[in-house]
């Protein structure tokens, strides 16, 4: 699992929206250096997940629907990434050719599962609010 550009951009958008105000997409893109073509896609995913809402009209824009303290880094990764696993073999539908050929369980898969669980646990400990507070303190 890597934090891809989409997750990075989603975090930037959430950082801009953390002020509690409504922002239009153009302003979000300018303030957070997010390409507009990515912003719409990411905002759609954040909206579908219930993290943000869009308001139409002359004073429209995008705003948070709640507190970022209840949303974790793992949540954002799972919202923005189609695959958040460290290896393809984490997918239950994955067919391991090595395991089939050798008629036994792959020890690499077992170890990667343990690592994936630990990684997910660590990512789930970090709220977006906490992540942003640390970001602001380091500047």
What is the DSSP code string of 83-112?
A: ---SSGGGSTT---HHHHHHTS--HHHHHH
Predicted local distance difference test score (pLDDT) of residue 138:
45
Predicted local distance difference test score (pLDDT) of residue 135:
52
**For 42-95, what is each residue's pLDDT tens digit?**
999 999 999 999 988 888 899 999 899 999 999 999 999 877 787 877 777 888
CA atoms of 29 and 138, how far apart (whole Å): 22
Mean pLDDT over all residues of the chain? 88
5-137 CATH fold: Arc Repressor Mutant, subunit A (1.10.10)
Predicted local distance difference test score (pLDDT) of residue 139:
44
Predicted local distance difference test score (pLDDT) of residue 88:
79
Kindly state the helix (H) or strand (E) to which residue 129 belongs, with its residue range: helix 128-137
pTM exceeds 0.85: no
Q: Distances from the Cα of 31 to the Cαs of 25, 38, 72, 124, in angstroms?
A: 10, 14, 23, 27
Q: Distances from the Cα of 66 to the Cαs of 18, 50, 51, 84, 139, in angstroms?
A: 10, 9, 7, 24, 25
Predicted local distance difference test score (pLDDT) of residue 137:
47
């Amino acid at each position: 699992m890597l934090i891809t550009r989409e997750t990075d951009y989603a975090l930037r958008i959430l950082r801009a929206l953390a002020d509690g105000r409504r922002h239009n997409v153009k302003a979000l893109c300018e303030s957070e250096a997010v390409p507009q073509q990515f912003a719409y896609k990411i905002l759609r995913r954040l909206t579908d997940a219930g993290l943000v809402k869009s308001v139409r009209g002359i004073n429209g824009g995008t705003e948070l629907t709640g507190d970022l303290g209840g949303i974790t880094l793992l949540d954002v990764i799972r919202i923005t990434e189609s695959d958040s696993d460290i290896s393809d073999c984490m997918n239950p539908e994955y067919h391991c050719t090595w395991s089939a050929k050798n008629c036994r369980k792959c020890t690499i898969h077992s170890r990667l599962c343990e690592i994936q669980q630990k990684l997910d646990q660590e990512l789930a400990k970090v709220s977006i609010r906490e992540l942003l507070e640390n970001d602001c303190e380091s500047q």
